[in-house]
């Protein structure tokens, strides 16, 4: 689950997924406060760049001063000097003004040569740092710096002024958007239309009654249309399908291939897919391979709702009903789509009932003293739900109870709702009956803190919320584990200094009232990305697995958490991992990557090596947690990702031979 800062960083580094981008837009638009926070980060980046340039320039200036330079007499600059006073008196910051000049220098190439000559004489030692015109920077001695400002700006402005009338005279040329690669049995509505293999495709409406036409778009996407069909290529990697059927096969270079349909869009993320637009205006999209994003949009083109569809999944976009919905099994592909009776929803649409939308996530489950199952999950208006003008209290935690081993769940009720976004709960039931729930709250300004509540009456009443441990905002505690010696252990991840992320384990000797400073796990060769999980093994060894930046890492302690081994890097990625010890091996559930279904592996050597992964749901999922049921089977709870994410569960049986999924 992404937090705003993570979303912003992903966007700024150009590595945001479609899902993250939609989340970011939602977050920005949720409140003015969020929009300002976003812009402040952008300003920070821009000023960081400016500062780097300033430092580099100063270093070069120092270097030039040390080495000396040719001198100029300044002749020819009297007008510049005269202009100095005008500007000097009003400019607030020299750096700003120099930015104006430098930008003009970079951009006005036509004027650059003559100006450069003048500027060289200004200082006698203008120092190009980079040979590329766009990134060229200069050092201008301060005595003449301001003098240059007004004149250069004026010159540049005049040049710009003189250039303006010339703009817009370029005549648009018809662009070739693709090429016909196959045309079979085409019967056109319009007798004047005809296409043969090799013909170029332009942005113009096409419609034919029968036959098959295949077009390779300029960016590489291949689309096949079956008559009767109406469509219009609209770009090198996009088209509008008004009615009829088409299929698309999109190579990686054409990722982003887009099919506009009434009231929506289908965006390829590297895949084969099919789209049908019916007479009613409804569209269906089916994914044969890879992933696509189905969007419902408004008349302005803004995204209203989206679904990410993996292989063998399908969705319907209905503009009349203003719906975008996942198609269930049997409707489209009886052989492929997951059978729903194997999954149980927990708190379905609890968020909708709270006026939030349909976002539920990050479930956790434990067994109560009377045998019932108790689940807590977070609910919000988005995947991340900090306070906003519309939702001033942000996301909240809700709970549900099952008295039939997870086959069905009670109507959800509010578990905790602070003024911030309450999220990512973890439950643990101790041997003395106390139930501890840890979670963290996320404020609109990006700060977060780990919280803790406990119940000594099997969940009937709960303590006030307290800070779980004394830590700064950047430290996050995860689930509590009761050890065999009675201590409680809580893995945490912390930001150390300003650049490093580290993982440690905090211990409590008094049932969670007080927590010691975390014992840090040694640094790993694989940078860690947080999300640790801890388990005590039968022989007393403590095992921590951690989400690495690329692959999972793990560390062991043989002395009850006093010291930890140098982390081992495993050969696979595991995000949001959780562990469960069974009589048939140690289980690890996790998400292998964004937009992937959850996986489960098994280890017979205490977590040092792991079996091949097994998947039980086609849908992308996150944050799985496992609980052993009375009959020895395992309940797996997690949430299916997306803007309408649901908390679901399924059941598995672990045998010597492997892991088997069970019908519920």
Partner 1 sequence: MSPRQPQRDHTTEMRDFAVLWAKAQSNVTAYVRAAIRNAHDAEDVVQQVAMAAAQDFEKFDRDLSFVAWTIGIARFRILKHLQKESRDRHIFGDSTLQSLADAQVEISTEIDDRRAAIRKCMDKLQPRGRKVVEMRYLRSMKPAAIADQMGSTANAVSSLLSRIRSALASCVNRQLQSMEESS
Looking only at residues 440 through 469 of this chain, which bind partner 1 when binding is defined by CB under 8 A? 446
CB atoms within 10 A of CB 100: 15
Segment 384 to 413, residues that bind partner 1, using CB under 8 A = none
Which of 42, 82, 197, 210 is the binder for partner 1 (CB under 8 A)?
A: 42
Omega of the bond prior to 228 within 30 degrees of 0, cis? yes
- 114/569 with CB nearer partner 1: 569
Bridge partner list, 127: none
Rounded-to-integer distance, Cα 518 and Cα 512, Å: 14
Cβ 595 vs Cβ 19: under 8 Å: yes
Rounded-to-integer distance, Cα 272 and Cα 448, Å: 41
DSSP string across 572-603: S--EEEEEEEETTEEEEEEESSTT---EEEEE
Rounded-to-integer distance, Cα 543 and Cα 545, Å: 7
> Is 593 one of the binding residues for partner 1 (CB under 8 A)?
no
> Is 112 one of the binding residues for partner 1 (CB under 8 A)?
no
Rounded-to-integer distance, Cα 431 and Cα 167, Å: 77
Q: What is the DSSP code (8-state) at residue 68?
A: -
Helices and strands in the chain: count of H runs, count of E runs? 8, 37
Which of 68, 301, 371, 583 is the binder for partner 1 (CB under 8 A)?
A: 301
> Is 46 one of the binding residues for partner 1 (CB under 8 A)?
yes
- 29/417 with CB nearer partner 1: 29
Cβ 275 vs Cβ 246: under 8 Å: yes
Segment 232 to 261, residues that bind partner 1, using CB under 8 A = 255-256
> Is 572 one of the binding residues for partner 1 (CB under 8 A)?
no
> Is 302 one of the binding residues for partner 1 (CB under 8 A)?
yes
HEC sequence for 608-654: CCCCCCEECCCCCEEEEEEEECCCCCEEEEEEECCCCCEEEEEEEEE
How many Å is the Cα radius of gyration of the chain? 31
> Is 109 one of the binding residues for partner 1 (CB under 8 A)?
no
Tokens of 655: 């045998």
CA angle at 261 for the pair 257 and 263, rounded to the nearest 5° = 125
Segment 497 to 526, residues that bind partner 1, using CB under 8 A = 497-501
By CB under 8 A, which span of 7-15, 246-254, 309-317, 504-512 interacts with partner 1? 7-15
Shortest reach from residue 92's CB to partner 1, in Å: 6
Segment 546 to 565, residues that bind partner 1, using CB under 8 A = 549-550
Which of 527, 540, 632, 658 is the binder for partner 1 (CB under 8 A)?
A: 527
Bridge partner list, 655: none
- 152/452 with CB nearer partner 1: 152
> Is 14 one of the binding residues for partner 1 (CB under 8 A)?
yes
Segment 76 to 105, residues that bind partner 1, using CB under 8 A = 83, 86-87, 90-93, 95-97, 99-100, 103
HEC sequence for 271-301: EEEEEEECCCCCEEEEEEEEEEEEEEECCCC
| Beta strand residue intervals within 320-372, DSSP E | 323-326, 344-345, 359-367
Segment 141 to 160, residues that bind partner 1, using CB under 8 A = 149-150, 153-154, 157-158, 160
> Is 51 one of the binding residues for partner 1 (CB under 8 A)?
yes
> Is 495 one of the binding residues for partner 1 (CB under 8 A)?
yes
Total residues at the site for partner 1 (CB under 8 A)?
Answer: 80
Residues in the chain: 664
> Is 164 one of the binding residues for partner 1 (CB under 8 A)?
yes
By CB under 8 A, which span of 5-13, 324-332, 435-443, 552-560 interacts with partner 1? 5-13
> Is 41 one of the binding residues for partner 1 (CB under 8 A)?
yes
> Is 419 one of the binding residues for partner 1 (CB under 8 A)?
no
By CB under 8 A, which span of 184-192, 495-503, 597-605, 636-644 interacts with partner 1? 495-503
- 91/195 with CB nearer partner 1: 91
Which of 1, 2, 18, 358 is the binder for partner 1 (CB under 8 A)?
A: 18
> Is 353 one of the binding residues for partner 1 (CB under 8 A)?
no
Q: Angle, nearest 10°, between helix axes 4-12 and 32-67?
A: 50
């Amino acid at each position: 689950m992404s937090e705003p800062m993570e979303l912003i960083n992903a966007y700024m580094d150009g590595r945001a997924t479609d899902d993250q981008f939609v989340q970011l837009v939602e977050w920005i638009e949720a409140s003015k406060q969020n929009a300002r926070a976003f812009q402040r980060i952008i300003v920070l980046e821009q000023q960081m760049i400016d500062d780097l340039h300033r430092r580099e320039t100063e270093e070069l200036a120092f270097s030039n001063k040390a080495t000396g330079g040719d001198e100029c007499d300044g002749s020819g600059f009297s007008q510049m000097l005269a202009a100095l006073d005008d500007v000097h008196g009003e400019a607030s910051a020299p750096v700003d003004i120099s930015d104006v000049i430098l930008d003009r220098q970079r951009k006005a190439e036509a004027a650059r040569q003559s100006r450069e000559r003048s500027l060289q004489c200004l200082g006698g030692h203008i120092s190009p740092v980079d040979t590329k015109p766009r990134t060229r920077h200069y050092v201008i001695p301060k005595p003449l710096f301001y003098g240059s400002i007004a004149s250069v700006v004026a010159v540049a402005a005049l040049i710009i002024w003189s250039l303006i009338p010339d703009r817009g005279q370029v005549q648009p040329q018809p662009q070739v958007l693709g090429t016909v690669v196959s045309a079979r049995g085409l019967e056109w509505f319009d007798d004047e239309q005809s296409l043969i293999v090799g013909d170029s495709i332009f942005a113009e409406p096409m419609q034919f009654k029968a036959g098959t036409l295949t077009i390779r778009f300029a960016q590489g996407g291949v689309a096949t249309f079956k008559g009767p069909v109406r469509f219009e290529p609209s770009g090198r990697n996009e088209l509008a399908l008004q009615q009829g059927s088409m299929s698309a096969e999109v190579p990686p270079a054409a990722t982003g291939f887009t099919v506009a349909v009434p009231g929506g869009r289908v965006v390829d993320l590297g895949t084969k897919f099919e789209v049908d637009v019916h007479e009613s205006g409804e569209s269906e999209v089916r994914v044969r391979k890879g992933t696509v994003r189905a969007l419902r949009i408004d008349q302005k083109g803004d995204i209203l709702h989206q679904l990410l569809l993996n292989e063998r999944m399908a969705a319907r976009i209905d503009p009349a009903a203003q719906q975008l919905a996942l198609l269930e099994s049997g409707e489209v592909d009886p052989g492929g789509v997951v059978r729903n009776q194997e999954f149980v929803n927990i708190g379905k649409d609890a968020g909708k009932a709270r006026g939030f939308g349909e976002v539920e996530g990050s479930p956790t489950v434990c067994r109560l003293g009377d045998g019932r199952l108790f689940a807590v999950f977070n609910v919000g208006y988005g995947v991340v739900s900090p306070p906003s003008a519309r939702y001033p209290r942000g996301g909240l935690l809700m709970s549900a109870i099952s008295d039939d081993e997870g086959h069905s769940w009670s109507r959800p009720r509010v578990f905790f709702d602070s003024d911030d976004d309450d999220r990512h709960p973890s439950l643990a039931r101790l041997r003395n009956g106390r139930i501890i729930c840890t979670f963290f709250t996320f404020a609109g300004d990006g700060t977060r803190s780990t919280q803790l509540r406990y119940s000594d009456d099997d969940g009937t009443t709960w303590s006030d919320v307290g800070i779980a441990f004394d830590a700064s905002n950047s430290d996050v505690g995860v689930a509590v584990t009761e050890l065999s010696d009675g201590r409680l252990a809580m893995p945490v991840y912390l930001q150390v200094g300003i650049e490093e992320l580290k993982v440690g384990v905090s211990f409590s000797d008094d049932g969670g009232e007080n927590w010691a400073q975390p014992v840090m796990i040694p640094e790993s060769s694989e940078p860690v990305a947080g999300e640790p999980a801890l388990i005590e093994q039968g022989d007393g060894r403590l095992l921590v697995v951690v989400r690495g930046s690329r692959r999972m890492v793990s560390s062991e302690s043989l002395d009850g958490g006093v010291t930890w081994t140098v982390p081992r890097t495993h050969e696979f990625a595991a995000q949001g991992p959780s562990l469960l010890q069974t009589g048939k091996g140690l289980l690890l559930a996790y998400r292998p990557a964004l937009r992937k279904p959850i996986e489960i592996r098994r280890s017979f050597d205490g977590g040092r090596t792991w079996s091949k992964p097994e998947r039980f749901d086609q849908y992308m999922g996150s944050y799985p947690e496992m609980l052993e049921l009375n009959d020895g089977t395992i309940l797996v709870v997690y949430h299916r990702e997306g803007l309408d994410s649901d908390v679901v569960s399924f059941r598995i049986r672990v045998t010597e031979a492997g892991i088997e999924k069970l019908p519920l």
